[in-house]
Structure 1
Amino acid sequence: MYLHHVAAYIPAAVVTNEHFTRLNGLASDWIIERTGIRERRKAGPGENANTMGVAATRALLAELPSFDPAGIDLIVAGTYTPHDTIYTAAHAVQRDLNINEIPTVSISSACSSLLNAVEIVEGYFALGKASRALVVVTEHNTAYNNEEDTIAGHLWGDGAAALLFTKERLAPGDLHVVQVMTGGAAPVGKADEAVTLKPIEKGIVMPFGRDVFQQACTYMTRITQQLLDKNNLTVEQLTYLIPHQANLRISANVVKQ
């Protein structure tokens, strides 16, 4: 399996740390020290998880003028902040591409939705049921966020990405996906209440951020080492380690370990 291309869409509206200084009295330096975040993007009127997913897909195809989107035979979308749970982001992308009667799947598995989406692609490829897959991940966090929440209101931003995977290599620069490893951590720590998004009750909240931080640092370090061991590699042989993680403190902690 190969990763042929990646593109992204981020909304135009920028929300700086100073916004939360004015709103909640949180100093910009305090936010940077604890998260590394200096700014985040916010979807505008009329934008949502579906529209941002479509925009990311259009950006990807615009960067691949010689690629025929009619060759896409699988669409997988991931989000935990859906605009519509029936006409999902995957279906919005399918409709925009006007590709009928191909598998179109949406998944919601919190922070690991991207990797789980890639695993779904891996399965379809292995079964011979697809050969060119579009993965779209899109989050509209601000639709569910309470900016006045002094614990976590400053953490969330919006955006989307589109990734094109192929069963066979299309170009010399394609990245070979050697192995994908995932594992749910629901039994660990305060996973049942550390971060929640209950649309009917309330928006996204993170009452136990320290638990999230500790578990993320432990899990990312352990799974990275397991992945290296399975492929007979050492940390010293790596050129890049790119965490799927927006919190700079977590990434720095993992690198240190």
Structure 2
Amino acid sequence: MSYAVLRGLGTHLPPRRVTNAELATLFDTSDEWITTRTGIKERRWVRPGQSTGDLATEAGRRALKSAGLDDGAEIGLLIVATTTPDHPCPGTAPDVAARLGLANAAAYDIAAVCSGFVYALEAVANAIEAGRVERGLVIGAETYSTILSPNDRTTSVIFGDGAGAVVLGRGAPDEPGRLLGFDLGSDGTGRDLITIPAGGSRQRSSGVAASDDDHYFTMQGKKVFAQAVHRMSESSLALLGRVGWTTDQVGHLVGHQANLRILKAVAEQLGLEPHRSVTNLDKVGNTSAASIPLALADAATAGELRTGERLLLTAFGGGLTWGSAALTWPDITPA
């Protein structure tokens, strides 16, 4: 059998820091209000003209470096998880693949919103385990600042831009970094809880002109909060049962960095002490599909993750979608 193993990790954040104090000059809000409700102190936003593909390419390049690969020629599959592609058509992944030198690699996007990284991770792991490719690259990349309404305080204080990437390769069953299992799910009846109303075929074929606000991201925060806690907890417990782990055996929980209160609630549901839940959203905000690899890189750089320890990843996003992954942490240095 073939086994998928995490071999490299790279991240990239745009240089512009947007603090709560800066947002307080644009909206009726304050640093205290934002911090209390979200746990976020600052986030990164792209400069004019900078795209999701730009962030994804740099994160991918750094992941290849972390994996000890000189170029992308050995990568057989690239998946970019994003809600903010460079264009509605074509996908962002083929362009990123070309820029990284992934000659003739299969490349496509996954649009599972904040669950996208876990969905993409599962797809690449499956391709490796089925023997279709030797190595694959997963990138979660977002430029949410480009889809946030300048009139919406609620979403503008939450979301940030960034990209995180991992290289997966074929390895041994007992090798640190092995992906041991996944749990994925969806519920399309909640599609309107997180959405951009305009721009797609449903709105375009309706014959009704969209308002300016319809082109921006919207979220029903209270309902999303309850769904996120329930789905991430339920998915995590289902996966733990599948791989035969108890919560006591989990070294760290790495949840999608949506909101500090959500992360705390999920940890409580799983019976995990707060210090075992990785958090970095205070520095980067909610970066959607990029949040889990960014959190992994921060925790690894800070020395919080030990080689061989058991990690539980979990996410929830629009669609509605959710997913969890179980792996052991490899001996790698994020780039």
User: TM-score over 0.5 for the alignment?
Assistant: yes
2:227: which partner in 1?
215
2:244: which partner in 1?
232
Q: State how 1:44-193 maps to structure 2 within 5 Å.
A: 44-65=47-68, 67-168=70-171, 174-187=176-189, 191-193=190-192
Q: Mark the CA change 1:34 to 1:97 in structure 2 (over 3 Å): closer, same or farther.
A: same
The residue type equivalent to 1:102 in the other structure is A
1:43: which partner in 2?
46
**4+ long deviations beyond 6 Å:** none
2:262: which partner in 1?
250
Q: Give the count of matched residue pairs.
A: 252
Measured on the aligned residues, the alpha-carbon RMSD in Å equals: 2.0
Q: Mark the CA change 1:66 to 1:142 in structure 2 (over 3 Å): closer, same or farther.
A: closer
Q: CA deviation at 1:185?
A: 2.7
**Is the 2:76–2:133 contact (alpha carbons within 8 Å) kept by the matching residues of 1?**
yes
Q: CA deviation at 1:67?
A: 4.7
How high is the sequence identity, in percent, across the aligned residues? 28
Over residues 49-97 of structure 1, what are the superposed CA-to-partner deviations in whole Å (9 max), with x where a residue is unaligned? 1111111112223434455531111111111111123343211221112
Counterpart-to-counterpart distance in 2, 1:96 and 1:75 = 12
Counterpart-to-counterpart distance in 1, 2:251 and 2:63 = 26
Q: CA deviation at 1:34?
A: 1.0
Over residues 92-146 of structure 1, what are the superposed CA-to-partner deviations in whole Å (9 max), with x where a residue is unaligned? 2211122332211211111111111112113322332112001111111011111
Q: CA deviation at 1:199?
A: 4.9
Q: State how 1:26-37 maps to structure 2 within 5 Å.
A: 26-37=29-40
Counterpart-to-counterpart distance in 2, 1:52 and 1:131 = 25
Counterpart-to-counterpart distance in 1, 2:39 and 2:187 = 24
The residue type equivalent to 2:183 in the other structure is M
Counterpart-to-counterpart distance in 1, 2:104 and 2:67 = 23
**Is the 2:8–2:65 contact (alpha carbons within 8 Å) kept by the matching residues of 1?**
no
Gaps in structure 1 of 5+ consecutive residues: none
The residue type equivalent to 1:76 in the other structure is I
The residue type equivalent to 2:86 in the other structure is H
The partner residue of 1:202 within 215, 240, 243 is 215
Which one has the bigger strand percentage? 2
**Is the 1:72–1:134 contact (alpha carbons within 8 Å) kept by the matching residues of 2?**
yes
For residue 75 of structure 1, give the secondary structure of its aligned residue in structure 2.
Answer: strand
Q: Mark the CA change 1:147 to 1:19 in structure 2 (over 3 Å): closer, same or farther.
A: farther
Query: Normalising by structure 1, what TM-score?
Result: 0.91
Q: CA deviation at 1:193?
A: 1.8
Q: Does 1:23 align with 2:23?
A: no
**Is the 1:134–1:164 contact (alpha carbons within 8 Å) kept by the matching residues of 2?**
yes
